[in-house]
Amino acid sequence: MPQTEFVRDLVVIFGLSVAVVLVFHRLRLPSIVGFLIVGGLVGPYGLNLIDDLERVEVLAEVGVVLLLFTIGLEFSLARLARIRTFAIGGGALQVGLTIVLTAFVGFFLFRTSFPSAVFWGFLVALSSTAIVLKILLERGELDSPHGRLALAILIFQDLIVVPMMMVLPLLSGNLREGSVDILVTLARSLALIGAVLVASRWLVPRVLALVVRARSRELFVITVLLICAGIAWLAEESGLSLALGAFIAGLVISESEYSHQALADIMPFRDSFNSLFFVSIGMLLDVRLFIDALPLVLLLTAVVLMIKGAVVAGVTLAMGYPVRVAILVGLYLPQVGEFSFVLAQAGQDVGLLTQPGYQFFLGFSILTMIAAPFLIQIGPRLSRRVESLGRLAGWRRRRRSIDVSPDAPVLQGHVIIAGYGLNGRNLARVLREGSIPYVILDLHGEAVRRGRAHGEPLFFGDVTQSEVLRQLRIKDARVLVLAVSDPFAVRRAIQVARQANPHIHIVVRTRYVKEVDDLLRLGANEVVPEEFETSLEIFDRVLRQYDVPQQQIAEKQEEIRREGYALLRRADADSPGRERPTGGGGRRGDD
């Protein structure tokens, strides 16, 4: 029976996935690589344990739809508007330059036709949202400069898939028919986007409010899935893709007050189905052809990684970011993405890609996906080595000396704030009210422009650069506050600041308590982990409900901070599944 075969396929896939991913976890290798290997093992070109790819492809497409839906939930329209400069500027440059360079290589070196060369540029230009977003979230770098820029470029890539799909008939030679298709699809897409915008403001919030009043979690989940599937289906009917429609659906719900609950309910489904996507990609690869043509596949993989890495790094530098950020972004985005496989299948249908070409594409695409996590891991070390080159450092100093040269009065005993996020803005307000001199440093160009327009002493620059700190008179500063969401930049900034001013008091904000000991060893005076500061605030609110005197609560909080959060860290270590931390605290003596 088909139902029995379908269940058997799931058992085979998930059974091997558990075994392989468990081994990869022990070896500290990315689980995505394990899923790709599982696909190669169970597919028709491997052990042939599963011979019906269509069933798995359907589940894989569900995984991509749920992935893009959750990305839309996490990325509201307001937040999308804030990164429009990165998305439009950086994304357009990256996609355009990658297409041009790939087409040049394909046309002149591999002797493909011009339409096919451009099409290969389409395939190479897109990166993997699933891989990059997963790693950014796991490493806590989503709000770092390189994380924001990488995500902005990824969103532009996801959106540019629509016009790419539209021009495929033109590239294949069906000019008249293609022109009509483009106009019809464009009209449908504009109508859908207009309807979605109207629904996000008036219809969806009212529907969700009505459902929530019923106090049924099952009804809420069903309604959220209905909105996701309905908009995705309408998008496909309008000429867009299911995945892009799901992303738009996520944006719609993100504008409501129920987006966090929707995200929490959908996340388990997304993770389960998304693994099937990578398994299905591995199943499509002809392992024998891959082995026979391995030298060429490796060459193509190297060419793709170098072209995309160089283009992304160059675009990042062109947007005014430092070399360190450019290298990190360049190592985050050189792999081929999920939508490239959708484009490749469409290219086969219109004759732009042959079956052997499709197998070559699968081969080097899978290798770039496998290489992606390892490239990201070497990013911090590589960026430090590149920055240490004297010639490059001299160019960087000349450039930064123009960007961050302050026009404020001479500073003495001031505070340097790195990061103009919520913590940085709140600290600046308190310092201003207390008439304490301060300057702020940030790598977010738009935030710098907005802050300066409101009279803040805000400058664009990289806190990890000694020349930048010198111009902010770090030798005369009393306190340095590192409130940035970039763990690599924080570590480097502590070392650079301590060398420039051995007596400066360095206060660091970090998300996780596991980073406290390392930051103190590097030279920070005080480390404020958000995890435990939240705990302190919670027990403050609870004890007040039991009429515990505020003075007693404050004394207990100060005792915990003075001991470096030792009490809370012991409680965290004693909880099941936790390893006990080895020494250290949240504060050290001044130098």
Element (H, E) at 416: strand 415-418
For 563, residues 6+ apart whose C-beta sits below 8 A from its C-beta are 585
pLDDT of residue 122: 95
Could you give the percent of the chain with pLDDT greater than 70?
A: 82
pLDDT of residue 309: 94
pLDDT of residue 54: 74
- Least confident range from 10-24, 273-287, 300-314, 448-462: namely 273-287
Average pLDDT of the residues of the chain:
80
Record the tokens describing residue 389, joined without a space: 């080159």
Query: What's the average model confidence in pLDDT over 86-92?
Result: 83
Q: Does residue 178 carry a pLDDT above 60?
A: no
Residue 584's pLDDT band (cuts 50, 70, 90): very low
pLDDT of residue 387: 67
| Strand partners for 259 | none
pLDDT of residue 585: 47
Could you report the per-residue pLDDT of 14-47, keeping only the tens digit for each?
Answer: 888 888 888 887 877 777 778 888 888 888 888 8
pLDDT of residue 77: 63
- In this structure, is the dihedral angle defined by the CA atoms of residues 308, 313, 315 and 316, taken in order, positive or negative? positive
Could you report the per-residue pLDDT of 342-382, keeping only the tens digit for each?
Answer: 788 888 888 889 888 999 998 999 899 889 988 998 988 88
- 51 or 345: whose pLDDT is higher? 345
What is the DSSP annotation of 148-215?
A: HHHHHHHHHHHHHHHHHHHHHHHHHT-HHHHHHHHHHHHHHHHHHHHHHHHIIIIIHHHHHHHHHHTT
pTM of the model: 0.74
Residue 398's pLDDT band (cuts 50, 70, 90): very low
- In this structure, is the dihedral angle defined by the CA atoms of residues 290, 295, 300 and 305, taken in order, positive or negative? positive
